[in-house]
Amino acid sequence: MDRANNVDLAARIKSIMIRVLDLDITPERLDEKVSLYSPIVGMDSLSLLHTLVEIEKEFDIEIDDEDVMLAELRNVGSLVDMISGIIEAEGGKA
């Protein structure tokens, strides 16, 4: 996936996170280094599941539990990287 597509992908994922988590921030201000579990994002296991379901719908992909476990999701960037890898593996349908 080229850089422009990856930037667009990151913005779309951040927009989903903002909507699902009801965050008062713009996608541009949600830095990829911010921890998913920080006070800024405030994700927990249930909100992570809800976010992943919405990402699956948005990108028409299936996220396996194993993908999530192997990704070691720590920050926004690791979530974007995981989704990017799944999309690439499924043929780049983003």
Q: What is the pTM of this model?
A: 0.88
Q: What is the DSSP string of 61-89?
A: ----HHHHHHHT--BHHHHHHHHHHHHHH
Task: Give all domains of the chain, ordered by start, each with its CATH number.
Answer: 3-89 (1.10.1200.10)
Alpha-carbon 84 to chain mean position: 9
pLDDT tens, 33-79?
A: 999 999 999 999 999 999 999 999 999 999 999 999 999 999 999 99
* Enclosing H/E stretch for 14: helix 3-21
Contact between 82 and 71 under an 8 Å Cβ cutoff? The reply is yes
pLDDT tens, 6-38?
A: 779 999 999 999 999 999 999 999 999 999 999
